[in-house]
Chain A
Amino acid sequence: MKDILGIVNFEDERVRIEGLSNFRSIPAMSFLGRYRIVDFVLSNMVNSGMDHIKVLVREKPRSLIEHIGIGSHYNINSKSGSFQILYSDKNITNKLYFTDINLLKQYSSFIKESNQEYVVIAPSYMICRINYQDVVEQHIKTGADVTAVYKQVDDGHKRFIGCEEFDLINNRVVLMKVSHGSTSVKNISLETYVMHKDFLLDLIDEATRRSSAYTIGAFLANDDNIKYINIQGYKYEGYLACVNSLEEYYYTNIDLVNYEKAKDLFDKDWPIYTKTNDSPPAHYTARAEVKNCMVANGCVVQGKIENSILGRAVKIKKGAVVKDSVILSNVIIGEGAIIEKAVIDQGAKILVNKEIAGDDEQIGYVREGDTV
């Protein structure tokens, strides 16, 4: 097993979840009831035997730092391992220059001094179950400069819009472009790259010399660069979702309520670690009606829930009906309220008999902490 350095990349400007991210960064967003988005990439790294991880933080890091802490709940060795949160100490006012490369440049000495030869860079919002050891193994075998992970999807006309897609010739990536959903079958990038530590350091220097606006993805995708950088594709075949918009956030949550589908993502031998909240088990009263749901601990369900996800400590009062919805932690759905096709953000209170319904065009949304 290779000793690999992990870098959790932040989301770039393309990834915006309206409303939800007004208040906190995407990696810290509640996901599938009991998790935060960042739990998946961190668990993948830890389960791949990685004990040296750096998390790049874009802005508003409070809730993320509170959640990931010093990494002990991800099982990172408190003595021999290292877990660093890297944030910019420069006052960057122009968002254009707030890039992964500029941030890594500030901390390049950390990368230089690390004992790991290979680096995995992966974002949090690509939800998957992947063993990075396999990617590094292929990377070494092919002698590539960069190995980029992709999945061939067949629903690219409606999902993964705004993601990057690859054209490959003999497994070499020859084109990276933004997917607009024109065709259904395409190679979607997981924005996950493996490279030698020295290659990454060179890339950072070269990119910053040429433009302060480059991201790693944009630098690799550059028409000239892609010609001389040997980027090999690594084909990933497991579950993939990209949580890059409110619609995708909603869709991915609802999609995974289906246990058969969720089995692609969850595996007993590949635990997804998260921070415990020490909540009691979920409680269903005698009047509860529950079908097709994913429910976190601390919930009390007195009403009817169907095809929905409940985060921690959600209270569904008598006579309330929740259908096709994502309810984040500490929400209270009042008696007789009806929620359909909606995302109800953390701590919101839905009053008695209130109705909130979205549709396929527009998912209903109630902001964090609001009372409606």
Chain B
Amino acid sequence: MKTEMLAMILAGGRGTRLMELTEKAAKPAVHFGGKYRIIDFPLSNCANSKIRYVGVLTQYESIILNSYVSQASHWGLDGRDRGTFVLNPREKVTGFSLYMGTADAIYQNLDFMDQYNPEYVLILSGDHIYKMDYDHMLDFHKENNADLTIAGLTVTFEEATRFGIMNTNKDYSIYEFEEKPPVPKNNLASMGIYIFNYDVLKKALIEDAPRKDSAHDFGKNIIPNLLNEGKRLFAYPFAGYWKDVGTVDSLWQAHMDLLAQGDPLKLDDESWKIYSEDVPTTPQFIGPNATLKGSSINQGCVVDGTVVNSVLFRDVVIEKGAEVINSVIMPESVVKRGAKIKNCIVGERQLILENEVVGSDDKIELFTSREVN
């Protein structure tokens, strides 16, 4: 089994700032955009980029995530020469060790990668919302004869302090990589998307692994080390919608972007579909008393109330006289008669009682306190 470029998706983080949403499911499994989970984006990008083998490295609360990712047919990644592979930390001859950092996670799966004898390895984060053709990025990598190519997004200088920043020459070759610089010299941020020549990656990981002073992190250790060694590092400039939905506020905001900006992610684009789980549902029913404005509504919903500027996931029920404004309602939640919801994210399978008022004008609220029986 030989493949040109193997993809490895880092999906082990909890996403603590998403609060209760990630109590039972890791961040990559969090629902997004009315019918997707966050990890559908990198996985669909892989499938659309004709990548055939995708390893998904999971760790935190991964029952939902593991079972989800292992259904490769969701993304057309099932077949004799394709597949998704769940890579949890596991017991080895050398003992059992959790993934101690992004680089360590990949290091612990060298044996997996060796099976495919890849020329290139694409390393991705499972937490980000965007569309990208990784095959174009690979062309760029090859044209530059690079050892490592890092996708870069132009951010404001203010935001730049929160990212790994790439200081580049005119030809996008990187001369310096600064992790979260207090005074950034540039505003080209690393998106955590890397294409490595596999031999370079493997050597770097093996050298980094025994170092006691290393955090075994790509941004902090591996990338600066490669620069010091004089390797060829390039930034691949990306233009388009990209969002790290790491907090309740940013998750809510990303949904409002979808509604306000008229499909910034081009979810409607037939040539680059975002694939997802196909859950059998009833059709979507809009009742005689409904008012719908500026909203996205998935199949299985039954709406007889008012829904304004909101996103409803599958099988949500909005009863007559209920009002949902500027909110995101996750699958199978029920909003009873006369209830009012504003500026909220309502979690999966939640029950909002008759005439209950949830949310306010002051802040974005997360509702996860009452499950449907």
- A48 interface residue (CB < 8 Å to B): no
Give which listed residue, A271, A288, A292, A294, contacts B288 with CB less than 8 A.
A292
Contact between chains at B282 and A266 (CB < 8 Å): yes
> Does the CB pair B282–A280 fall under 8 Å?
no
A291, B288: Cβ atoms closer than 8 Å: yes
Q: Which of B252-308 contact A (CB under 8 A)?
A: 263, 267-268, 273-276, 278, 280-288, 290-299, 302, 304
Report B42 CB to chain A, min CB distance, Å.
16
Main secondary structure of the interface of A (DSSP, over half): loop
A273 interfacial contact with B, CB 8 Å:
yes
Q: Which of A276, A279, A281, A295 contacts B286 (CB 8 A)?
A: A295
How many residues from B make CB contacts under 8 Å with A? 34
- Verify A278–B268 contact, CB threshold 8 A: no
Q: Give per-residue flags for A270-292: 1 if the beta carbon is below 8 A from chain B beta carbons, else 0.
A: 01111010111111111110111
Contact A280–B34 (Cβ < 8 Å): yes
Contact A284 B292 (CB under 8 A): yes
Could you say which residues of chain B place their CB within 8 Å of the CB of A272? 280, 282
1/0 contact string of A25-42 vs chain B (CB within 8 Å): 000000011110000000
A284 and B283 contacting across the interface, CB-CB below 8 Å: no
The answer to whether A281 touches B287, judged by C-beta atoms less than 8 angstroms apart, is no
Asked if A293 is an interface residue, CB under 8 A from chain B, the answer is yes
B288 touches A280 (CB 8 A): no
- The residue of chain B having its C-beta at the shortest distance from the C-beta of A300 within the complex is B268
Bound CA–CA A328/B281 (angstroms): 19
Report B187-204 CB contacts with A as 1/0, cut-off 8 Å. 000000000000000000
CB distance from A46 to the nearest CB of B (A): 11
One of B293, B302, B312 near A286 (C-beta < 8 A): B293
* A6 contact set on B, CB distance < 8 A: none
Rounded to whole Å, the gap between the CB of A35 and the closest CB of chain B is: 8
The CA of A130 and the CA of B364, in the complex, are separated in Å by: 46
Chain B window 22-49, contacts with chain A (Cβ cutoff 8 Å), 1 for yes, 0 for no = 0000000000011100000000000000
- Chain A residues near B297 (CB-CB < 8 A): 281-284, 295
Task: Tell whether, in the assembled complex, residue B296 and residue A282 are in contact, meaning their CB atoms are under 8 Å apart.
Answer: yes
**Is B311 an interface residue when CB atoms closer than 8 A count as contact?**
yes
Which residue from A268, A286, A288, A290 sits with its C-beta under 8 Å from B282? A268
Q: Collect the chain A residues with CB atoms within 8 Å of residue B299's CB.
A: 34, 281, 296-297
A73 touching B278 in the complex, CB below 8 Å, given contacts A281-B34, A296-B284: yes
Bound state CA distance, A282 and B290, in angstroms? 15
Contacts of B295 on A, CB cut-off 8 Å?
A: 283-284
Q: Pick from A35, A274, A278, A300: contact of B273, CB below 8 A.
A: A278
Within 8 A of A (CB), among B135-160: none
15 contacts across the A-B interface (CB closer than 8 A): A32-B283, A33-B284, A34-B283, A278-B275, A280-B263, A280-B268, A281-B33, A281-B34, A283-B297, A284-B296, A288-B294, A290-B290, A291-B288, A292-B286, A313-B268
Residues of chain B whose beta carbon lies under 8 Å from any beta carbon of chain A: 33-35, 263, 267-268, 273-276, 278, 280-288, 290-299, 302, 304, 311-312
Not counting A281-B299, A293-B285, a sample of 12 additional A-B residue pairs whose C-beta atoms are within 8 angstroms of each other reads A257-B285, A259-B302, A262-B285, A279-B268, A280-B33, A280-B35, A281-B297, A290-B290, A294-B286, A296-B283, A296-B299, A297-B35
Nearest first, the 6 closest Cβ-Cβ pairs linking A and B are A271-B280, A281-B34, A280-B267, A276-B278, A281-B298, A286-B294
